[in-house]
Amino acid sequence: MHLTNWVSLAFLVFAVLLFYSYQTPLFFSSRNMAQESPKSIYDFTVKDIQGNDVSLSKYSGKVLLIVNVASKCGFTQSNYKELNVLYEKYKNQGFEILAFPCNQFAGQEPGSNEEIQEVACTMFKAEFPIFDKIEVNGKNTAPLYKYLKSEKGGLFVDAIKWNFTKFLVNKEGKVVERYAPTTSPLKIEKDIQNLLGSS
């Protein structure tokens, strides 16, 4: 009788383990499929500065420089000036700059979308697209920026350190490089040329 109980218990444990070994992978795989991670920036939709949805797949096949911008930063004047130079030089060769205003760094982008557009396009003569104001760090981080940071982490931490952090994206929508706010846009020119030259 004692032996029978042990055999029954062993069989029960074996049956439970067998059940979970079959069920658990299935459970995890279906859950992972539901939360499938993005494969490129083309999987994202963002809002333009007028609040309209823009699928980033419209930039498929282009080299992109994605920048978090601010109107009242010490880097503002030099960055907008050099971004304009790059845009003018390469926009007809398949290059785009996507600018995302952000007010998370010392409140240096406090204006409304209309005010931001006025400053960027009138004062700084930006011709490249300016998008809706977003957050790039914290619990309200825009999904695009979660992806950018996961693809190219920063020095010591992945968080965006300041205004004018730059991400370079290739023609397949993959993040290939991240540049610190202190890196001037013209220092990125050679990397842009290399990506534009690749088929």
Q: Which uninterrupted H or E stretch holds 116?
A: helix 113-118
How many beta carbons lie within 10 A of that of residue 139, not counting itself? Answer: 5
Q: How far is CA 185 from CA 28, 42, 182, in A?
A: 43, 23, 9
Q: Which two tokens stand for residue 132?
A: 């809706």
The one catalytic residue in 46, 67, 70, 73 is 73
Phi, psi (rounded to 5 degrees) for 129? -65, 135
Distance CA 124, CA 121 (A): 6
Q: Show Cβ contacts of residue 49 under 8 Å, excluding neighbours closer than 6 positions.
A: 101, 113, 116, 117, 130, 131, 132
Distance CA 38, CA 143 (A): 10
Distance CA 109, CA 72 (A): 6
∠ CA 19-22-25, rounded to 5°: 130
Active site residue 102: no
Annotated catalytic sites, by residue?
73
